[in-house]
Homo-oligomer: A and B are copies of this chain.
Amino acid sequence: MPDKLDRRKKYTRMVLKDSLIQLMNEKTFSSITVKEVCVLADINRSTFYTHFTDVHDLLYSIEEEIIEEMNKYLNAFHFIVEEESIQMTEKLLVYIKERKEIFEALLENNTGTSFEKRVMDIARLFLINKTDTANIDAASYLSTFIVSGAIHVIKDWLLIDQTQSPKQMAELISQFCNKGLGSMENEKSRE
């Protein structure tokens, strides 16, 4: 919201985040020190503490950014028709793939509220909005099921093969979700 950030603040936060991301690609998160991050970012250590309390806090702010970006993609779903949703999913997957290492680090690292849980929360919210509001409980359960399924499919895709293109994955996941949503429609009509 406070997009009216001072140029200097923006820059400092950016390089610190980038440093941590780079370091996470080289070593385990728990072995990374504040000092290390600052040296790489070429930022005075005392400045670090005016922005973040510690390395976890910095990681958390990276999460924030990622989550926010994913939210944009998901929000866009509301305004598009079925055929375009596959393309949208593809964009999301490309975004994830380009940040492969960050996502892996975030999924592995369980500090505080896990990244996975937060992603599920926003995705669930999205799914509930998308379906009819009459049957919220069912939608909630089902969306948990669908989203956790999707996340693990993406996780495997990231970690293991990636022989499938983002486009192919998008179609696969889209099918997967629609089947789930479809079953809920049946559920409702049977009432």
Interface residues on A, range: under 10
Determine whether A7 belongs to the interface, using a CB cutoff of 8 Å to chain B. Answer: yes
A69 part of interface (Cβ distance < 8 Å) = no
CB nearest to A47 among chain B residues: B7
Q: Name the interface residues of A4-43: CB closer than 8 Å to any CB of B.
A: 7, 11, 42-43
Please report whether the interface of chain A is mostly helix, strand, loop or mixed according to DSSP.
loop
Nearest-Cβ distance from residue A52 to partner chain B, whole angstroms = 19
Q: A131 near B: Cβ within 8 Å? A: no
**What is the minimal beta-carbon distance from A65 to any residue of chain B, in angstroms?**
18
Which residues from B are CB-within-8-Å of A7?
42-44
Assembled-state Cα–Cα distance A7/B46 (Å): 14
Specify which chain B residues have a CB less than 8 angstroms from the CB of A44 in the assembled complex.
Answer: 7
A7 to B44, CA, bound (A): 9
Q: Fill in one digit per residue for A42-65: 1 if any B CB lies within 8 Å of its CB, else 0.
A: 111000000000000000000000
State in angstroms the CA–CA spacing of A17 and B44 once bound together. 23
- C-alpha gap A43/B44 in the complex (Å): 19
B residues in contact with A43, CB < 8 Å: 7
In A121-179, the 8 Å CB interface with B consists of none
4 A-B contacts, Cβ less than 8 Å apart? A7-B42, A7-B43, A7-B44, A11-B42
Q: Pick the 3 closest A-B CB pairs, nearest first.
A: A7-B42, A7-B44, A11-B42
